[in-house]
Amino acid sequence: MELFAEKRILTVSQLSALVKDVLEENFEQVWVEGEVSNLATPQSGHIYLTLKDAGAQLKCVLFRAAARSLRFKIRDGMRLIVRGRISVFAQRGDYQLIAEYLEPQGIGALQLAFLQLKERLAREGLFAEANKKPIPRLPRRIGVVTSPTGAAIHDILTMLDRRFANIEVLLIPVKVQGEGAAVEIASAIRDFNLYRDVDVLIVGRGGGSLEDLWAFNEEIVARAIASSRIPVISAVGHEIDFTIADLAADLRAPTPSAAAELVITSKAELTTLVQTLEHRLGRAAAGLIAGLKSRVGMAQASLRDPAMLIGQLGQRVDFMQERMSSLLGRMLARHTDRLSALIEMLRLRSPGRAVEHGREQLQNLVARRDQAVQRRMDHLRETMARRTGALDALSPLATLARGYSLAQREKDGLIVRSSDQLAVGDRLRLRLHRGSAGCLVETVEPAVADQGSA
């Protein structure tokens, strides 16, 4: 209040700095309860949110260092109890709560983290029963991941010695609580899978608070157990304690001692079981032998005189030989006939036979051709004779033979048919039946109409 006793004009920055000092000095540690809204998680790793109730809102920031240690996920609508200090973000003139610790209202932070991780891994199928591996009934070597000085390893070894003395146990010592414990546990499980020849793993520790057991609620441990090719038995805390490791394991043991009981059957129980099985096997073998003896006796009783059996078999052999001879004879005859037919077929289809057949066909064709040529020649001769006779009848020579002559003008060889073709002085050649004669036209008389028509 002294600042405002006299008029003093401040800059905005000066006023903001004064307010910041006042708030940070008087609200260094406050607890605030409210509902989350406007949640933002940028890449810087800081978490920004607003706490609100029915009448007011308060901006809140959780810086990256504090956010890293937060085990549960903040969601809008969640009710939180926040511890922190009030400060001013001068650039915007906002006052805000710088959170240092958060826990959900009505449920512890670890319990909420457990439930959130359990829900997320369950959705991935990390706890699916279908992925559980069977625990070997009689392991040769057992691997243990726990503290070398805790009660768990003592309980496990004591119980194993009691149930099956001399069984081989390999231990990879790890931290089972505190910073880095989860990483060591997960690394030990991977080492067993890579380098150790064991048949089953026990992973656990003795009892403690939820914080003490928290390493077995870490995601890295759950994933190491789920991806182990070696079957894993979880043995964490007491019977009432339940962890994420128990859900991821192939078998949950309520305590480390119980894990030792589950991992191998008692030698005494095995001995009793072997004796019982041996007794049952002996009785079964005796029954089997008795049954076989009975069958052998029945078979012996059914056996007949070997000499008689041999005689009957010999008779059967003779009968079979007779049938075979008969059958072979019929087969031989059938095949002989078949062979003869094939030989005849082959002869008929032989190249020489084909040539001979071709030659016969050729001779027939030649004979038929000669006959056809002869008939044609005869026909032509007859035709020629008829036509020769006709020609002879029409021949001028025949006319000449009957006493006629043929006049032909010598200058151009024209056959003279009319006196109009002649002139006085023309020379003619008369062709007679026998020989010819040259003539000189001395007179020409015109043709008379009726004479021309005659």
245 or 15: which leads in pLDDT: 245
Mean pLDDT of the chain: 88
List the structure tokens of 401: 């033979």
Phi then psi for 220, rounded to 5 degrees?
-65, -35
Distance CA(182)–CA(192), nearest Å, equals: 16
412 within 8 A of 387, measured Cβ to Cβ: no
Using only the alpha carbons of the chain, give its radius of gyration: 69
Confidence of residue 5 (pLDDT cuts 50, 70, 90): low
List the structure tokens of 421: 């073709």
First to last CA, the chain: 184
Confidence of residue 452 (pLDDT cuts 50, 70, 90): very low
| pLDDT the model gives residue 3 | 57
> Widest CA span of the chain, in angstroms?
193
| pLDDT the model gives residue 234 | 95
| pLDDT the model gives residue 257 | 92
Phi then psi for 248, rounded to 5 degrees?
-80, -20
Q: What is the pLDDT of residues 171-186, one digit of tens each?
A: 999 999 988 999 999 9
Distance CA(97)–CA(27), nearest Å, equals: 9
102 within 8 A of 29, measured Cβ to Cβ: no
Within 49-180, residue ranges assigned H as helices are: 64-68, 109-124, 151-163
| pLDDT the model gives residue 445 | 87
- Buried b or exposed e, range 164-202, using 16+ CB within 10 angstroms: beebebebbebbbbeeebbbbbbbbbeebbeeeebbbbb
What distance lies between CA 120 and its chain's CA centroid?
Answer: 33
Report DSSP state, residue 416.
P
Distance CA(273)–CA(256), nearest Å, equals: 26
Question: What is each CA distance from 448 to 405, 428, 441, 454, in whole angstroms?
Answer: 21, 22, 19, 10
| pLDDT the model gives residue 378 | 93
| pLDDT the model gives residue 453 | 41
What distance lies between CA 284 and its chain's CA centroid?
Answer: 49
What would the mean pLDDT of 244-264 be, rounded to a whole number?
A: 93
Distance CA(216)–CA(243), nearest Å, equals: 6
Distance CA(417)–CA(404), nearest Å, equals: 13
Full strand arrangement of the beta sheet holding 427-431: 406-409, 427-431, 436-440
The secondary structure of 124-147 as a DSSP string is HTTT-GGGPPPPPSS-SEEEEEE-
Q: At how many degrees (to 10) do helices 219-226 and 109-124 cross?
A: 30
- Answer whether residue 273 shows pLDDT above 80: yes
102 within 8 A of 109, measured Cβ to Cβ: yes
What would the mean pLDDT of 279-306 be, rounded to a whole number?
A: 86
Distance CA(169)–CA(165), nearest Å, equals: 11
Confidence of residue 454 (pLDDT cuts 50, 70, 90): very low
Q: What is the pLDDT of residues 132-173, one digit of tens each?
A: 999 998 899 999 999 999 889 999 999 999 988 889 999 999
Q: What is the pLDDT of residues 27-53, one digit of tens each?
A: 888 999 889 899 999 999 999 999 998
List the structure tokens of 237: 């805390």
Other beta carbons within 10 Å of 127: 18
| pLDDT the model gives residue 176 | 94
- Answer whether residue 307 shows pLDDT above 80: no
| pLDDT the model gives residue 118 | 92
What would the mean pLDDT of 438-449 be, rounded to a whole number?
A: 85
Q: What is the pLDDT of residues 67-110, one digit of tens each?
A: 888 888 888 888 899 999 999 888 888 899 999 988 888 777 77
| pLDDT the model gives residue 361 | 92
List the structure tokens of 46: 């800081």
- Answer whether residue 451 shows pLDDT above 60: no
| pLDDT the model gives residue 356 | 86
| pTM of the predicted structure, to 2 decimals | 0.53
| pLDDT the model gives residue 449 | 60
- Answer whether residue 420 shows pLDDT above 80: yes
What would the mean pLDDT of 327-339 be, rounded to a whole number?
A: 92
- Answer whether residue 199 shows pLDDT above 70: yes
Confidence of residue 333 (pLDDT cuts 50, 70, 90): very high
Other beta carbons within 10 Å of 146: 28
| pLDDT the model gives residue 351 | 83
